[in-house]
Amino acid sequence: MTTSEQTESKGGRPRSEKARAAILRAAADLLLERGLDSVSMDAVAEQAGVSKATIYRWWPTKEALALDALYAEWAEATPASTETGSLRGDLLALLLPWVHQLAKRPYARVMGSFITRARSDPGFASAYVERLMVPRREIARAVLERARQRGELEPAVQIDVALDVLYGAVYHRFLHGHAPLTDQFVTDVVDTVLGGLACR
């Protein structure tokens, strides 16, 4: 067991939670620096100050760890509450902090490698959907469901289609880089989608 695993500050988080957070941070840093293929569990363990056995306690493969590390990075940019009282406000409160996070680090390269791997590796594709795609969609789904309960959306609105349009537009610019991913663009996407949904 390493020094960092043995040490726990008085009144702080449990040791296992601290170790898990350190592993996710180290994995994200190495993933963004080196790319998925060049990251090893040994390197993550060394940078996080934990044993490799500690990593395998939570993640069976480096791919599973990489997906969770990216999700954790993006989750940090998600506000604890996006309830502003309106669907437009809620969507902007959800999407804008994420877009700001996307501009801080070379995530597009990593996402590109994930998508490429998913197209050729069914196992990775399943983990990609389960660990990264679905959790993020569920956060946005909750926003749209709340709006429907408030009467802002017609009952017949296809929420899955709305989610694809919202996230699809952002990912299109994010991955292709053909135009800037700005606050104004995100606002225009939200307003265009809401217009198409015929919000009340």
Quick: pLDDT tens for 39-90.
999 999 999 999 999 999 999 999 999 999 999 999 998 887 888 999 999 9
Nearest-angstrom CA–CA distance, 182 and 190: 13
- Tokens 């996407």 correspond to 189
Q: Indicate whether 42 and 85 sit together in one domain.
A: no
Question: Are the CB atoms for 199 and 157 separated by under 8 Å?
Answer: no
pLDDT at res. 81: 82
Radius of gyration (C-alpha) of the chain in whole angstroms: 19
pLDDT at res. 116: 95
Question: Are the CB atoms for 125 and 67 separated by under 8 Å?
Answer: no
pLDDT at res. 10: 44
Contacts of 62 (CB under 8 A, 6+ apart): 27, 36, 39, 40, 41, 44
At 87, list the tokens: 């669907």
Q: Indicate whether 137 and 186 sit together in one domain.
A: yes
Q: Indicate whether 86 and 128 sit together in one domain.
A: yes
The total of structural domains in the chain comes to 2
Q: Report pLDDT digits (tens) over 15-39.
A: 799 999 999 999 999 999 999 999 9
Q: Give the mean pLDDT of 104-110.
A: 95
Contacts of 155 (CB under 8 A, 6+ apart): 148
Question: Are the CB atoms for 68 and 134 separated by under 8 Å?
Answer: no
Q: Indicate whether 33 and 110 sit together in one domain.
A: no
Coil, strand or helix at 58: helix
What's the gap between Cα 176 and its chain centre?
18
Question: Are the CB atoms for 55 and 93 separated by under 8 Å?
Answer: no
Maximum separation of any 2 CA atoms in the chain, in Å: 58
pTM above 0.75, yes or no: yes
Q: Indicate whether 8 and 106 sit together in one domain.
A: no
Candidates 59, 176, 66; CA nearest to 110 is 66
Q: Indicate whether 30 and 85 sit together in one domain.
A: no
Q: Indicate whether 82 and 25 sit together in one domain.
A: no
Domain of residue 9 covers: 3-60
At 169, list the tokens: 């537009």
Q: Indicate whether 97 and 186 sit together in one domain.
A: yes
pLDDT at res. 4: 41
Q: Report pLDDT digits (tens) over 108-149.
A: 999 999 999 999 999 999 999 999 999 999 999 999 999 999
pLDDT at res. 180: 95
Question: Are the CB atoms for 63 and 124 separated by under 8 Å?
Answer: yes
